[in-house]
Homo-oligomer: A and B are copies of this chain.
């Protein structure tokens, strides 16, 4: 058959998850359509935390942050990771599949593209609207960027009840 690479045995599928319903639907689509019938398949759940804000009391004296506030924000970030991963687990727990969880930090589009490259992913699966409505409106969507910039096939999944 034309063009199919048979060298690598294990299929490595990266699913980018975030707080959105859509990303959970993307995960369930992936499990039902890509993973469920493939025996040698590894699922990598990738969550990207936003980059840590820079707090400076010298440059912007109007924006002073107390240590308490910084600690609260950091805890919120950690809680968010746990919450997203727990929701993801509820989606994949009935599938017998090898799952790895990866948490990155930084600009989602860059972290996802780098992770796909480093992990030598065979497929990237993601929702179309993740990582912020406003950012999407002004800068284009993360999924657009990833579809253009990663080399493996990209599956873009929309919210199913739209």
Contact of B37 with A24 in the complex, beta carbons under 8 Å: no
How many chain A residues touch B (CB < 8 A): the figure is 40
**14 new A-B contacts at CB < 8 Å, known A1-B32, A154-B155, A154-B156:** A1-B28, A2-B87, A3-B24, A3-B91, A3-B160, A26-B153, A33-B34, A33-B38, A33-B123, A36-B37, A37-B37, A143-B147, A151-B158, A156-B156
Nearest-Cβ distance from residue A6 to partner chain B, whole angstroms:
9
A157 proximal to B (CB < 8 A): yes
A57 proximal to B (CB < 8 A): no
Which of B28, B94, B153, B158 contacts A157 (CB under 8 A)?
B153
Interface SS, A side = mixed
Nearest-Cβ distance from residue A100 to partner chain B, whole angstroms:
20
| Copies of this protein chain in the complex | 2
A25 proximal to B (CB < 8 A): yes
Which of B5, B21, B156, B162 contacts A160 (CB under 8 A)?
B5
Q: Using Cβ atoms and an 8 Å threshold, which residues of chain B touch A94?
A: 1
A123 to B91, CA, bound (A): 21
Residues of A within 8 A of B (CB): 1-5, 11, 21, 24-26, 28-29, 31-34, 36-38, 87, 90-91, 94, 123, 128, 143-144, 147-148, 150-158, 160, 162
